[in-house]
Structure 1
Amino acid sequence: MQGLFKKAKADLEGLLDTDSHANPPPAYQQAYSHIPKAPSDINRPILPLRGMSQDEPDKISEPTATDILRYRYHHGTNLGSIFVIERWLHNSRFPDPADGSSELACVKSWVDKIGVEETRKKFEDAWANAVTDADIQWLANEAKATTIRLPIGYFDLDPDFAENTPFAPYKKVYVNAWPSICHLISRLNAHSIGTLIDLHALPGGANAGEHSGTNSGTAQFWAVEDNRSLGVRCAEFLAEQVQGLDGVAGIQLVNEADWESERLYEWYDECIDTISTIDNTIPVIISDGWNLNKAVEYSLKKNHAYPDKPTAPVIIDTHYYWAFSGEDKSKSPQQVVKDVDTKLRELDAKEGSVIDRGAVQVIVGEYSCVLSEDSWEKRGDAQKEDLVKQFGNAQTKRWQLRAGGAFFWTWKMDWYPGGEWGFAAQTSNKALIPPQNSTIPTSLIPSLVSKADHRRDERMYHAVNQHVAYWNHLTPNTPCEHWRYEYGWKVGYYDAQAFFTGKDGVNGGNKIGNLEIWVLKRIRDSGFKGNFVWEFEQGVRRGVEDFFGIVGIA
């Protein structure tokens, strides 16, 4: 923040014309017109608005149901091994005997045994019955989930994508995979649950794991141009197909890209450009490739307030597990619990000023309550059940503080409810704590909104006067455009209220969890340009903060 103030001070002191007054542009007077204009002197600019002609038309309007679904905090789970099979989760999906543990091994084994048509029926039955109506009601009412992460494969999209891949002989098995996915998304959306579509399996494999679709043991996606091109076509397909499909929270391009994958960010650029040409509003999620610092720097550049052409917002997906590395195995459960608070520090000093440096938003796409046996042997006299609960509590608390959402691995498996791997098990034993806002009874929301309405002007006057007093003290006799701050405050306050109230089938009680990219969106929507857009940005942030403070959401 200190850097922002220094920059703003320099910008202020660089303005020369201080003799006349001007009125806010029509954009301020018209957009988001339901916002009451406070009858205060702060409404008018104190000094001339240099650069006013740079402002573009204001496109700010009330948040839509889709906005709320995409930008609220995502508390949820991965669906699991349904559309991309992993044998350790669903051994029952394989015939006996069967070689291999991947989707390809499964479909090949069944086709060899019963033929393509019967395999298609078997797979379609598994997809249709993976999530029951009772499951969805539990997810919404008991788990308080807002969103699921849905792993799928390229073979689940257009059957023609399987041509010239190992899935080519089996593409008829998947002719109804995408319609099945869309049906599940719609069913979830009917209960106010969004879906993050995760392109978990890319042709050739973005990593060497079986969850890339095969048991090849190699990542052949990055170095093969045909695979890379097909990956872009998958992104294009998804962008086109989800237009008009309610309930899609975002498109994830790849799951767990290998460390330093060849031309990773070049491929991201191509996919993001392709999606943005079709729909520049849908969040695009990228894998950090196990290098969060590098992904943060890329995101800050990509999420620039003023791109050369309309660009979809970019969110980073990072994963946290403490059961596999030698370093983590050497830790006791108590040490691991303390270690949780060290995560996501890559975001320190990178948030809070989109105008200065761009926006960065991170979600935790996978985490669990699993530790290695080496770790459990170091727990001393403590009860394992207590430590599992502490571990889950620490993670959900940390993710809610620093991330835009988190998805447990995983929900569905043969050995449901899944122990330390299971979202159902860890929700039931209260290891996974839903966000505070999601536990507010629906019946209380109207009274809390009324309270916020009653205190709105008081909080606005306090915020704006505080802002003006600070800058009058820091940079006396220099021009400012404080009306931008007041407008930003009003926009932020009413945005927060819209999320909290809910809209068009999206339940209330939501918090703007993906705040950095929401602020980015609002800056772009405002059409504001010039040296004082930072005032609008800081006003938006303060308005959001003030609303949630009144209704008691941290």
Structure 2
Amino acid sequence: MKGLLKKAKAEFQGILDPDSRANLPPAQQPQHQNQESGLPGMANDQPSSIGPVTSLDIIRYRYHHGTNLGSVYVLERWLRNSMFPADACGSSELEAVKAWVAKIGVDETRQKFEAFWKSVVTDEDLTWLVNEAKITSIRLPIGYFDLNPSLVENTPFAPYAAVYSSAWNTIRDLIVRLRSKGIGTLIDLHALPGGANGNEHSGTNSGKAELWGSATNRELGVRCCQFLAQEISHGLEGVIGIQVVNEADWGSERMYDWYDDCINAVSNIDPTIPIIISDGWDLCRAVEFSLSRNVAISAQPKCPVIIDTHYYWAYTGEDKAKSPQQIIAEVGQKMGELDGREGSVIDRGAVQAIVGEYSCVLSEDSWQKRGDTPKEDLVKAFGNAQSRKYQYRSGGSFFWTWKMDWFPGGEWGFQAQTANAAITSHPSYSAPSTDIPGLLAKSQSRREERMYAAVNQHVAYWDHLAPNTPCEHWRYENGWKVGYADACNFFAGGSGVRDGNKIGNLEIWVLKRIRESGMRGNFVWEFEQGLRRGIADFYGLVGV
């Protein structure tokens, strides 16, 4: 076995050949049992569909350093008072459009909203995002009313459908513009029919979460997901996923059943699209759901599921009683619900979380407890602590928020806190592009050395732990090669995608590769562990 492992020096394209195992000498062919037929051989394994890393893979699975666009396609008055008439009765999108139509009519309201949507992100903004903020992704909050006009029939937005007749086209245009700069877009269904919570960012001032208790609203929400999936599958490049709901109320009835409906509907259209769910302020429960859905071997192709969780420290009485220093220390304790749940997709399934919203805002009660430390120092320390934690523990983080009337936004403002160096990009994105070729050359020159060391360690460990026990260590080597090449290709970048990328959504990337490997049987864990070791070895060499 060791002689075979040391002989195997095929480049990545050889790994991708599903027939490559057929060329091994008979004595070296894997001999696990076919559980269905009882005969030895390869019958359990399916043909591999592993292919080279694509630009879309990089955009979807790298670490997402990003921001929310803000109050643009779902208005909130505290962020966009300029989009509300002075006499508007409420603070939500519905109240804004209702007041404008009453004041200036449908056609002029449509023109006003269209001009706003088209002008809110300038070319200069995009340059700043890439060169200064070094972001990879935007979380784009939208409402169901921004999609196809047929999706607002029999809803409170039905009288104003004409106002939104071009909303989706402007969203598409923005996604395309972002992609041209190498920026991915997470489409966030921030406002759903009936509302997933009672807040104004659900689109109305009803104060109620009427999505969950209404079969009609839930079905309409699924249709929104289908609409987005169809658009993405028909060539809308640059979408890193569909977030099916924002900030679902805690303990919402039927929430997870509805998640299944959305996952199934999108999977039937394009099972490669990541689905992002809200944890509903209960990360533990969301972790269990995710693990049960992100299984390595599935009868039908299924979209990978990612959890969105939010962190704020400015609202509860408990948080207001804390000093800034206490809160900064507490940041490091977050996301512990993931502990012990990662690292073995074969055994447990995959769980991946992103932080869809966070800020540098604390309550005045907390700031009054800061002592003699200047507030600006603590704001920076708070942002730095969050950046470090989320980069280490999540698949991405999106600051709330970027665009508002009172730009650059203080502790709520992504631009202000980037300039303040409170919010920092992932260290790999700060590496000078001129260093990348040298690091890639180094990784290739030492590839064989690292592979031999990893495989020999693996074989020696299991020979010692379980001597004379049948193993399939060729799977470990195969996995190592795939993982090392994947990490290298992410780091190198791709067509229209920056270099220096790290596989930040590692758990669902591992899930993707296991599914594509076609491997079955009792030793697929060796492929998974080899894959993880190959990725880690590459990053160890380039210092990421």
2:141: which partner in 1? 151
- TM normalised by structure 1 equals 0.93
**Is the counterpart of residue 196 in structure 1 residue 186 in structure 2?**
yes
**Is the counterpart of residue 65 in structure 1 residue 76 in structure 2?**
no
Matches within 5 A, 1:451-466: 451-466=442-457
Query: Which residue, 235, 238, 249 being the options, matches 1:258?
Result: 249
1:541: which partner in 2? 532
CA distance in 2, matches of 1:400, 1:92: 35
Query: Which residue, 202, 209, 226 being the options, matches 1:219?
Result: 209
User: Does the residue aligned with 1:258 lie in a helix, a strand or coil?
Assistant: coil
**1:240 is matched by which residue type in structure 2?**
Q
**Is the counterpart of residue 384 in structure 1 residue 350 in structure 2?**
no
Matches within 5 A, 1:88-167: 88-167=78-157
2:459: which partner in 1? 468
Query: Which residue, 312, 316, 328 being the options, matches 2:303?
Result: 312
1:367: which partner in 2? 358
**1:178 is matched by which residue type in structure 2?**
W
CA distance in 1, matches of 2:518, 2:199: 45
CA distance in 2, matches of 1:417, 1:158: 32
**2:16 is matched by which residue type in structure 1?**
Y
Where structure 2 has 5 or more consecutive residues not aligned to the other structure, the ranges are 35-41
2:39: which partner in 1? none
Residue pair 1:54, 1:528 contacting (<8 A) in 2 also: yes
Residue pair 1:306, 1:524 contacting (<8 A) in 2 also: yes
Q: CA deviation at 1:32?
A: 2.2
**1:32 is matched by which residue type in structure 2?**
L
User: Does the residue aligned with 2:257 lie in a helix, a strand or coil?
Assistant: helix
Residue pair 1:43, 1:483 contacting (<8 A) in 2 also: no
Residue pair 1:43, 1:486 contacting (<8 A) in 2 also: no
Cα 1:42–1:325 change in 2 (3 A) is: farther
CA distance in 2, matches of 1:99, 1:496: 53
**Is the counterpart of residue 277 in structure 1 residue 268 in structure 2?**
yes
1:417: which partner in 2? 408
Cα 1:44–1:311 change in 2 (3 A) is: farther
1:358-402 deviations in Å (ceiling 9; x for gaps): 000000000000000000010000010000000000001000111
1:5: which partner in 2? none
**Is the counterpart of residue 490 in structure 1 residue 490 in structure 2?**
no
Residue pair 1:45, 1:481 contacting (<8 A) in 2 also: no
Matches within 5 A, 1:14-25: none
User: Does the residue aligned with 2:133 lie in a helix, a strand or coil?
Assistant: coil
1:3: which partner in 2? none
**1:99 is matched by which residue type in structure 2?**
C
**1:324 is matched by which residue type in structure 2?**
Y
240-249 vs 523-532, which deviates more? 240-249
User: Does the residue aligned with 1:142 lie in a helix, a strand or coil?
Assistant: helix
CA distance in 2, matches of 1:190, 1:137: 11
2:16: which partner in 1? 32
Residue pair 2:15, 2:478 contacting (<8 A) in 1 also: no
1:14: which partner in 2? none
Q: CA deviation at 1:160?
A: 1.3
Residue pair 2:477, 2:527 contacting (<8 A) in 1 also: yes
Query: Which residue, 13, 21, 31 being the options, matches 1:48?
Result: 31
Residue pair 2:245, 2:278 contacting (<8 A) in 1 also: yes
CA distance in 2, matches of 1:73, 1:494: 17
Residue pair 1:42, 1:482 contacting (<8 A) in 2 also: no
Q: Which runs of 4+ in 1 moved over 4 A?
A: 28-31, 41-47
1:482-529 deviations in Å (ceiling 9; x for gaps): 010000000000000110001111111100000000000000000000
1:139-165 deviations in Å (ceiling 9; x for gaps): 111001000100000000011111111
Q: CA deviation at 1:225?
A: 1.0
Q: CA deviation at 1:536?
A: 0.1
Question: Quick one: percent identity of the two aligned structures?
Answer: 65
2:37: which partner in 1? none
User: Does the residue aligned with 2:43 lie in a helix, a strand or coil?
Assistant: helix
Residue pair 2:15, 2:481 contacting (<8 A) in 1 also: no
**1:193 is matched by which residue type in structure 2?**
I
Residue pair 1:45, 1:480 contacting (<8 A) in 2 also: no
- TM normalised by structure 2 equals 0.94
1:195-242 deviations in Å (ceiling 9; x for gaps): 000000001110000000000011111101110110000000000011
**1:69 is matched by which residue type in structure 2?**
I
CA distance in 1, matches of 2:119, 2:397: 25
CA distance in 1, matches of 2:236, 2:438: 33
Q: CA deviation at 1:99?
A: 1.1
Residue pair 2:67, 2:137 contacting (<8 A) in 1 also: yes
Q: CA deviation at 1:49?
A: 3.7
Q: CA deviation at 1:433?
A: 1.3
CA distance in 1, matches of 2:437, 2:173: 32
Residue pair 1:45, 1:483 contacting (<8 A) in 2 also: no
CA distance in 2, matches of 1:182, 1:242: 10
User: Does the residue aligned with 1:242 lie in a helix, a strand or coil?
Assistant: helix
Residue pair 1:340, 1:395 contacting (<8 A) in 2 also: yes
2:292: which partner in 1? 301
2:424: which partner in 1? 433
Matches within 5 A, 1:523-538: 523-538=514-529
1:402: which partner in 2? 393
1:187: which partner in 2? 177
CA distance in 2, matches of 1:43, 1:222: 58
Residue pair 2:178, 2:184 contacting (<8 A) in 1 also: yes
Where structure 1 has 5 or more consecutive residues not aligned to the other structure, the ranges are 1-17
Q: CA deviation at 1:97?
A: 1.9
Count of residue pairs the alignment pairs up: 528
Cα 1:128–1:43 change in 2 (3 A) is: farther
1:152-180 deviations in Å (ceiling 9; x for gaps): 00000011111111101100000100000
CA distance in 1, matches of 2:362, 2:386: 13
**1:471 is matched by which residue type in structure 2?**
W
User: Does the residue aligned with 2:332 lie in a helix, a strand or coil?
Assistant: helix
**Is the counterpart of residue 348 in structure 1 residue 339 in structure 2?**
yes
CA distance in 1, matches of 2:215, 2:104: 35
Residue pair 2:195, 2:209 contacting (<8 A) in 1 also: yes
Q: CA deviation at 1:62?
A: 0.4
User: Does the residue aligned with 1:485 lie in a helix, a strand or coil?
Assistant: helix
Residue pair 2:185, 2:239 contacting (<8 A) in 1 also: yes
Cα 1:58–1:320 change in 2 (3 A) is: same
Q: CA deviation at 1:47?
A: 6.6
Residue pair 1:31, 1:58 contacting (<8 A) in 2 also: no
Cα 1:522–1:445 change in 2 (3 A) is: same
**Is the counterpart of residue 334 in structure 1 residue 325 in structure 2?**
yes
**2:223 is matched by which residue type in structure 1?**
R
CA distance in 1, matches of 2:119, 2:95: 22
CA distance in 2, matches of 1:473, 1:110: 75
